[in-house]
Amino acid sequence: MRPTSTTSETVFELKPISKEGIEASLGKAEHYRLLNQPRLAESICLDVLLIDQNNQRASVVLLLALTDQFGQSSSKTANQALTIAKGLKDEYARIYYTGIIHERQGAAALSSGTPGADFDAYEWYREAMEFYEKADAINKDDNNDPVLRWNTCARIIMEYHLRERPSDNFPILE
């Protein structure tokens, strides 16, 4: 297909993938995430979701690929990931992956080096820990993932001496 040009942007008609190739494509997406190529993994998941919009595996891999980009992309990436998490069919997955999103926002804040980011990181990690506790409470398997993630957040908070943002106790002027 030849691209069409408007005054300021080029628009392509995307080519659909085959339904038969969905599983192999998702395997590639997971592989590209491991190779630290989240944009490629994201694109593959979007291709899968164009063919099978209810594919939960594609949704989870897409969510994770988006969180891999935290700190490198706009804040809309976090909102996209949260929207995907809210749309997951399984209650445990919705809660657990929301925790993952908050944990990775904490990691992005911690590595940003911006003033006050340590307070932001603390808040994100604590939110993640709350979601992990909720996920563990409804966990039906011998799945230790929520506990392992909770412990990781706790260790990071302790290692970096993260704490709550101090309250502003400015006098009220009348």
Contact 133, 150 (CB under 8 A): yes
Share of the chain above pLDDT 70, in %: 91
pLDDT of residue 116: 94
> What are the φ/ψ torsions at residue 88 (nearest 5 degrees)?
-65, 145
For the segment 144-158, what is each residue's pLDDT rounded down to a tens digit?
999 999 999 999 999
Distance CA(150)–CA(164), nearest Å, equals 17
The one-character DSSP state at 165 is P
Average pLDDT, integer, range 98-113 = 96
Q: Give the model's confidence band at 141: pLDDT under 50 very low, under 70 low, under 90 confident, else very high.
A: confident
Q: Is the pLDDT of residue 46 over 90?
A: yes
pLDDT on residue 171: 63
Q: Residue 168: what pLDDT?
A: 74
Which residues are CB-neighbours of 174 under 8 A, at least 6 positions away? none
pLDDT band for position 4 (cuts 50, 70, 90): low
Asked if residues 150 and 129 have their Cβ atoms less than 8 Å apart, the reply is yes
Task: Give the domain ranges of the chain.
Answer: 19-81, 90-163
Q: What is the DSSP letter of 21?
A: G
Q: What is the mean pLDDT of the segment spanning 42-71?
A: 97
* Confidence at residue 151, expressed as pLDDT on a 0 to 100 scale: 98
pLDDT of 8 strictly over 90: no
Q: Is the pLDDT of residue 10 over 70?
A: yes
Q: Tell me the C-alpha distance between 88 and 78, whole Å.
A: 16
130 CB-contact burial (10 Å; exposed 0-12 / middle 13-18 / buried 19+): middle
The mean per-residue pLDDT over the stretch 8-17 comes to 94
Q: In the predicted model, what is the mean pLDDT of residues 28-51?
A: 98
Q: Are 59 and 101 in contact (CB under 8 A)?
A: no
Band of residue 5 on the pLDDT scale cut at 50, 70, 90: low
Give the residue ranges of DSSP H helices in 139-168: 145-159
